[in-house]
């Protein structure tokens, strides 16, 4: 290993061994042999893991600078060293090899050896690195807040650094009252658990018990932010077996859910996953989404319902283990508020529409059994039964589910509150399901009884041509295919050439197939049931009138609903633009963060 010193001279060092970093120790070390033969151990890590292993006098001098740098938003590390004699190093090297090659309890043995080595050191100093926020990070977090999402920050950074970052990205506001659960508020000692109990009870009383009824989500959510570190979190999530405070986890969760934001600092990767699991299994089973950019975030990403990895300087482990990967944090806004909103609407409509069109398809067959003596006589031809969901009605809903934009993406990005319209699974609740079910039953009744009324006479026309069972079923089927397809056309707001092609093409294909299927005598069929049935049906003027009337009556509820929605939309458009802007603005006040001295990117300037 070659190093150029300040005098522009090249010095050669020999790297003897590396004690790799792990999230429990929060440090890493190297053994280096100097040109004169001396051996040194150099160790770098978090101040909380270095200061206890150096003399207090040395740590006291540096601690002030570390805390000040952290408050300013810098990421800090401490560096220490100690000299090791060749004989001692030989013994340590043997211990390291034995622990590394152990077949059982390897990690525990390595941790024990590393812990014995990394002690009695001398402090060299500390480093401070500026880690700027990504562009539009603050705006993205404000938009997600405006969409009604709860944002928790789970980080391994120092408390002061993490807190400064939260102010810089506007997660905490200047009027936010911070509730602290850290080693500074819960000091080590015999009364540690008692102090924790008092703080939890006080915070619970303030946020949950004494909150005004009906206003918990409005008052408390915008006034309080919780800050907790990894050591205190371990006392809450993993109490000792003989502890009387096993209910802390439930109280802590209630406090967190009533805060506008939660900051968890000095977190180990497994603790991040524990937090996600705790929220995921809480009352109401909320949907959790984890965002991370490094290997320390992998466990959290895998635990959440949806994991998003950000490709960055921290490597690609998070992106490779995620459900979705994005280049920048700012892309979360488009991913969630635009694509998340649109895909939920598309999938919800897909599910409801499939129930609706198949109810329209089956219900006339069910009604027909009451008029055919329950003889199990089918109403539709076998070819029509097979091709209804495969060919005649499949492509239009597929195109809708891929392309529909009921609201333009720019509008969804500008007004985050529109996301509230689809939150809490709003489109798949009981009320929409009842509406679609009623619509399917109504249309099925219109199809069957409308055609039945027309076919009450033995002959349709004066020419004496008779209409049989298959003519009756074909008429119902024709009205069915046109109605469910035109229903989807009425629901479509974003028309492309593909929508036009599949919707009108499906209807044309049905007419062409019906003429083709009934116009040829098929040699592989024993009974030519459909021979000239469709052509004969369309030769009757009354059949044409009935088809148009039944389609119109079936679509009438949807047309009326569209008219009312259009009138309501016109009413909203008459509101002053200022009112719309104020309603769509984030509920949290947009004030300048207090700690922005080191965060100089333009996204933080108001």
* Known binding-site residue numbers for Mg(2+): 293, 297
What distance in Å separates the CA atoms of residue 104 and residue 238, rounded to the nearest whole number? Answer: 25
Whether the Cβ atoms of residue 191 and residue 238 lie closer than 8 Å to each other: no
**Strand pairing report for 14-22 and 27-33:** antiparallel
Buried b (16+ CB within 10 A) or exposed e, 52-91: ebbeeebbeebbeebbebbbbbbbbbbbbbbebeeeebee
Which of 330, 370, 306 shows the shortest CA–CA distance to 144? Answer: 330
Residue 315, beta-bridge partner list: 312
CA distance readout (Å), 377 to 150, 380, 383, 533: 57, 9, 15, 17
Q: What are phi and psi of 55, to 5 degrees?
A: -55, 140
What distance in Å separates the CA atoms of residue 235 and residue 13, rounded to the nearest whole number? Answer: 44
3-class SS of residue 385: helix
3-class SS of residue 192: helix
Q: Which two tokens stand for residue 505?
A: 């093409």
Q: In the 8-state DSSP scheme, what is residue 602?
A: G
Whether the Cβ atoms of residue 435 and residue 392 lie closer than 8 Å to each other: no
What distance in Å separates the CA atoms of residue 170 and residue 593, rounded to the nearest whole number? Answer: 6
CA trace torsion 370, 371, 376, 380 (10° rounding): -120
Crossing angle (nearest 10°) for helices 394-403 and 469-491: 10
What distance in Å separates the CA atoms of residue 415 and residue 337, rounded to the nearest whole number? Answer: 9
Whether the Cβ atoms of residue 257 and residue 278 lie closer than 8 Å to each other: no
Residue 323 burial (10 A CB sphere; 0-12, 13-18, 19+): middle
Sign for the CA dihedral angle at 453, 454, 460, 465 comes to: negative
Q: H/E element holding 359? A: helix 341-368
Specify binding-site residues for ATP.
Answer: 21, 44, 75, 155-157, 266, 272, 296-297
Q: What are phi and psi of 122, to 5 degrees?
A: -115, 140
Sign for the CA dihedral angle at 407, 432, 279, 590 comes to: positive
Crossing angle (nearest 10°) for helices 341-368 and 430-454: 40
Q: Which two tokens stand for residue 468?
A: 């049989």
């Amino acid at each position: 290993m070659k190093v150029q010193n300040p005098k522009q001279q090249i010095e050669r060092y020999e790297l003897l061994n590396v004690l790799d970093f792990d999230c429990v120790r929060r440090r890493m070390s190297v053994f280096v042999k100097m040109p004169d033969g001396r051996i040194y151990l150099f160790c770098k890590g978090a101040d909380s893991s270095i200061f206890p292993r150096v003399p207090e006098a040395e740590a006291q001098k540096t601690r002030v600078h570390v805390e000040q740098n952290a408050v300013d938003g810098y990421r800090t590390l401490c560096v220490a060293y100690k000299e090791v004699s060749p004989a001692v190093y030989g013994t340590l090297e043997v211990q390291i090899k034995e622990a590394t090659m152990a077949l059982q309890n390897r990690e525990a043995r390595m941790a024990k050896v590393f812990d014995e080595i990394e002690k009695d050191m001398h402090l060299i100093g500390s480093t401070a690195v500026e880690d700027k926020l990504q562009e539009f990070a603050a705006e993205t977090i404000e938009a997600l807040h405006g969409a009604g999402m709860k944002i928790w920050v789970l980080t391994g950074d120092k408390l002061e650094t993490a807190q400064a970052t939260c102010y810089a990205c506007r997660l905490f506001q200047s009027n936010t009252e911070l509730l602290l659960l850290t080693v500074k508020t819960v000091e080590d000692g015999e009364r540690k658990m008692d102090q924790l109990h008092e703080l939890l009870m006080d915070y619970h009383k303030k946020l949950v018990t004494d909150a005004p009824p009906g206003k918990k989500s409005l008052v408390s959510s915008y006034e309080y932010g919780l800050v907790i570190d990894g050591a205190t979190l371990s006392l809450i999530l993993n109490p000792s077996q003989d502890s009387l405070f096993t209910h802390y986890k439930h109280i802590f969760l209630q406090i967190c859910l009533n805060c506008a934001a939660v900051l968890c600092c000095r977190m180990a990767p497994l603790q991040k996953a524990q937090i996600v699991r705790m929220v995921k299994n809480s009352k109401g089973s909320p949907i959790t989404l984890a965002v991370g950019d490094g290997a320390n975030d992998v466990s959290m990403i895998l635990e959440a319902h949806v994991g998003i990895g950000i490709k960055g300087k921290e490597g690609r482990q998070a992106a490779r283990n995620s459900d979705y990967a994005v280049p920048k944090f700012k892309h979360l806004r488009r991913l969630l508020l635009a694509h998340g909103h649109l895909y939920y609407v598309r999938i919800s409509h897909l599910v409801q529409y499939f129930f609706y069109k198949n109810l329209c398809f089956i219900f006339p067959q069910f009604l027909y059994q009451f008029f055919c003596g329950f003889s199990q006589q089918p109403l539709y031809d076998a070819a029509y039964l097979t091709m209804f969901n495969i060919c005649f009605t499949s492509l239009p809903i597929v195109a809708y589910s891929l392309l529909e934009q009921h609201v333009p993406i720019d509008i969804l990005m500008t007004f985050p509150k529109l996301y509230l319209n689809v939150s809490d699974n709003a489109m798949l609740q009981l009320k929409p399901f009842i509406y679609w079910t009623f619509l399917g039953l109504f249309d099925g009744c219109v199809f069957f009884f409308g055609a039945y009324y027309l076919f009450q006479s033995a002959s349709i026309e004066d020419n004496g041509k008779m209409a049989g069972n298959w003519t009756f079923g074909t008429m119902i089927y024709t009205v069915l295919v046109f109605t469910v397809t035109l229903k989807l056309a009425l629901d479509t707001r974003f028309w492309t050439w593909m929508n036009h092609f599949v919707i009108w093409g499906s209807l044309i294909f049905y007419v062409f197939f019906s003429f083709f299927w009934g116009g040829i005598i098929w040699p592989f069929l024993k009974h030519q049931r459909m021979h000239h049935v469709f052509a004969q049906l369309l030769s009757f003027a009354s059949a044409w009138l009935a088809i148009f009337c039944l389609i119109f009556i079936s679509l009438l509820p949807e047309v009326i609903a569209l008219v009312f929605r259009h009138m309501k939309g016109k009413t909203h458009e008459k509101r002053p633009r200022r009112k719309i802007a104020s309603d769509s603005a984030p509920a949290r006040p947009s004030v300048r963060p207090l700690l922005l001295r080191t965060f100089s990117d333009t996204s933080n300037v108001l």
